[in-house]
Each structure stands twice: as C-alpha cells, then as structure tokens.
Amino acid sequence: MAGCVFCEIIAGDTPADVVLDDPDLMAFLDRRPVFKGHVLLVPRAHVVTLPDLPSDLRDGFLAAAQRLATAMVDGLGAQGSFVAVNNVVSQSVPHLHCHVVPRTKGDGLRGFFWPRTKYAAGEAASYADRLRRTLGSG
C-alpha cells in the first residue's frame, strides 16, 4: 500500500531491524520502543485492523506473537511481556501490528496506559448481555 511505512519495510524500501521474516508475517524492532527489544509483528499483506485479518493468517499471526513473547524471556532475559493490538483508536500506523514488549517487574509500566473505570450497580450485566447478543451466544 503506497504511503504505508510498514508496507515499505516489508518491501525492503525502508530499513528496519527485522527479527522474524516469514512468508506471511514480519516482525521488527519498534523505532520508538517502550523498552529495548519492543517488537512490532505485522502481516505482509496490507491489513488495517485485527477484524480485517483473513482467517487463514489468524493462527500464524497468533503463533508468531507467542514465539516473540517467549523470545522476550529466553533471548532478552525479561520476566515476561506485554502483548497488545490497537484497532483504529491509538493505531499510529493503519496496518495491523501487534506490539510485543519485554517486561520486568518494577520496570515502571503500570498495567494499561489509561485510567480505569467502574460499573454502576447492574451495569456490568447489561454490557455482558449486549456483547453476548452481538456474538450470538445469548
């Protein structure tokens, strides 16, 4: 896709520190990492969001994210990892990418990056019901 920095990296037109290069996927270091070793996993095909990811790429995408999360511990000595995907909101590049960030207890990253909220009495059940109906399981 013209103008997509991730497509340019995949095509080899923009340099990147590639850590995984598979026929359907690529992973490379984030240029502005949360912590050193922060990786972005992308499908080679220009896919904008996770809901757009074709089903034939879904298992490979998740398997690659698992491998990268394991590599954070085995290769970088992290105690764990943070794995996240933004869809549209806070998605700085409109090409599906999964962040895999090495984590160590006391590293300063506090859970999610946004303030938490609470449900009013009975409100949680209403949200759960709406989601179940949308998913066709309620």
Active site residues: 97
The rounded distance, in Å, linking the Cα atoms of 25 and 23 is 6
Please state, in angstroms and rounded to a whole number, the distance separating the CA atoms of residues 42 and 115.
28
Task: Say which amino acid occupies 133.
Answer: R
